[in-house]
């Protein structure tokens, strides 16, 4: 074979390899778009192929958008002008067409011009930005104050002032979404990993002050449609606010890398009308009164196991698994000597104080009844068949 023939041959090989690569790329993109096609825009949340920010729902978010586009356009215009002049000058005065370098006399008006013009531009950018920043930080005169506590990996909400004062709950990723994620093949769901069991409910057109803090590591409370993002720092209190101008569901996520399940602590804010809010508060308060379990109540085994099953699903299954077998360093509860021990105090101590330096968290924030229920559930599930009941009073006594 002559060299030319060889070259042509290897070129042809390369060409077909390239074609194959191109084909698989097209196939891959095809598969991707067909998946994407099934997921629809989530109203108030992310949209398919979204490039811009979420549609704003608060005055602050509107201002932020305006600032963003204002700066963007300004910078783009400056960029085009500066680089336009630069490249034009370089090309026009190049050496190859006979130009010679010149010593520049720098007249004072040029010096002044290129100092004053940028200064004016910077002031023109800083003024509106500062105005919005100051407004963003003004948390005075709020109608409602809610504390948001970041925890690995959920949000606790406590209504501490205003209508609904006293309401408190924990907001956790919906368990079906965790199951979907674990399966590695999630269905095309619009609110994938954004669905929670208890959304934060607030009234429309009211100033809501959010106080953020955290129990363990730094988290951040962020809802893009509100233009709100605030770190939640253990041992510190920070605040932010929003006044939603539209009812609907709005979504956000923890925005500070906080551990392995950072992506599993979504934020769902339900903005409702004033009447709906009042109705929700009344209903919630009734439910709380009903659930404010009397720790001296004596439970039957079946009732307590049933109650414990939901406590387990919401708080323990993420680590210990639904089948109680744990994984790696997470000890199994199925067959655990501590769980099955006739001395309930052993398990109670682990529950109240945690273990292994916090790898097993302390569960003090659960009520006596919830702890008694989840312990009774563990003592009577899977292969654990102790028939033992831990009554809330035992937990209450152990707390001291
Ligand atoms: Cu977090």
Contact 227, 168 (CB under 8 A): no
Reported residue count of the chain is 400
Give the pLDDT of the chain (400 residues) as one tens digit per residue.
344 444 444 444 554 544 555 545 544 444 455 444 488 889 888 898 999 999 999 999 999 999 999 999 999 999 999 999 999 999 999 999 988 888 878 889 989 998 999 999 999 999 999 999 999 999 999 999 999 999 999 999 999 999 999 999 999 999 888 888 888 888 888 889 999 999 999 999 999 999 999 999 999 999 999 999 999 999 999 999 999 999 999 999 999 999 999 999 999 999 999 999 999 999 988 777 767 777 888 889 999 999 999 999 989 999 999 999 999 999 999 999 999 999 999 999 999 999 998 899 999 888 889 999 999 999 999 999 999 999 999 998 998 7
Distance 219 CA to ligand 1 centre (A): 4
Distance 256 CA to ligand 1 centre (A): 6
pLDDT of residue 287: 79
pLDDT of residue 30: 47
Choose which CATH entry (1.50.10.10, 2.40.110.10, 1.10.760.10, 3.40.50.300) describes domain 301-399. Answer: 1.10.760.10
Q: What is the pTM of this model?
A: 0.63
SS3 for 338-394 is HHHCCCHHHHHHHHHHCEHHHCECCCCCCCHHHHHHHHHHHHCCCCCCCCCCCCHHH
User: How far, in whole angstroms, is CA 400 from its chain's centroid?
Assistant: 35
User: How far, in whole angstroms, is CA 58 from its chain's centroid?
Assistant: 19
CA-only gyration radius of the chain, Å: 30
pLDDT of residue 204: 97
Distance 212 CA to ligand 1 centre (A): 12
Tokens matching residue 22: 């191109």
Distance 165 CA to ligand 1 centre (A): 25
| Burial status of residue 215 (CB atoms within 10 A of its CB: 0-12, 13-18, 19 or more) | middle
pLDDT of residue 13: 52
Distance 232 CA to ligand 1 centre (A): 8
Write the CATH number of the domain with boundaries 144-291.
2.60.40.420
Tokens matching residue 258: 């906080």
pLDDT of residue 290: 65
Domain ranges of the chain: 47-87+108-138, 144-291, 301-399
Distance 207 CA to ligand 1 centre (A): 25
User: How far, in whole angstroms, is CA 97 from its chain's centroid?
Assistant: 60
Distance 134 CA to ligand 1 centre (A): 26
- What 8-state DSSP symbol labels residue 74? H
Distance 223 CA to ligand 1 centre (A): 13
């Amino acid at each position: 074979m002559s060299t030319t023939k060889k070259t042509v041959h290897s070129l042809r090989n390369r060409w077909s390899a390239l074609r194959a690569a191109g084909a698989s790329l097209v196939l891959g993109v095809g598969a991707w778009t067909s998946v994407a096609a099934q997921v629809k825009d989530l109203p108030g949340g992310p949209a398919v192929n979204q490039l811009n920010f979420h549609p704003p729902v608060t005055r602050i978010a509107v201002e932020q958008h305006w600032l963003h586009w204002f700066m963007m356009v300004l910078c783009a215009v400056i960029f085009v002008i500066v680089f336009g002049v630069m490249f034009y000058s370089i090309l026009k005065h190049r050496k190859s067409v006979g130009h010679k370098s010149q010593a520049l006399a720098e007249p004072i008006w040029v010096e002044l011009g290129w100092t004053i013009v940028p200064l004016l531009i910077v002031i023109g950018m800083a003024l509106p930005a500062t105005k919005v920043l100051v407004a963003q930080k003004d948390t005075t005169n709020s109608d409602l104050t809610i504390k948001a506590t970041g925890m690995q990996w959920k949000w606790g909400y406590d209504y501490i002032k205003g209508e609904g004062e006293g309401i408190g709950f924990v907001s956790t990723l919906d368990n079906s979404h965790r199951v979907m994620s674990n399966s590695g093949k999630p269905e095309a769901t619009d609110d994938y990993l954004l669905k929670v069991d208890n959304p934060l409910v607030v009234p429309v057109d009211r100033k809501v002050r959010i106080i953020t803090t955290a129990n363990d590591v730094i988290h951040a409370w962020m809802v893009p449609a509100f233009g709100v993002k605030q770190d939640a720092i253990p041992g510190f209190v920070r605040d932010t606010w929003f006044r939603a101008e539209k009812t609907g569901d709005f979504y956000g996520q923890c925005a500070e890398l906080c551990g392995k399940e950072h992506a599993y602590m979504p934020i769902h804010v339900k903005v409702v009308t004033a009447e709906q809010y009042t109705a929700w508060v009344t209903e919630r308060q009734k439910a709380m009164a009903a659930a404010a379990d009397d720790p001296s109540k004596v439970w039957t085994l079946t009732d307590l196991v049933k109650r414990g099953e939901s406590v387990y699903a919401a708080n323990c299954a993420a680590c210990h698994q639904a089948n109680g077998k744990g994984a790696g360093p997470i000890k199994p509860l199925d067959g655990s000597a501590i769980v099955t021990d006739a001395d309930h105090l052993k398990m109670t101590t682990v529950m109240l104080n945690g273990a292994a330096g916090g790898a097993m968290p302390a569960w003090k924030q659960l009520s006596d009844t919830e702890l008694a229920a989840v312990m009774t559930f563990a003592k009577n599930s899977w292969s654990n068949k102790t028939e033992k009941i831990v009554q809330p009073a035992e937990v209450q006594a152990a707390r001291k």
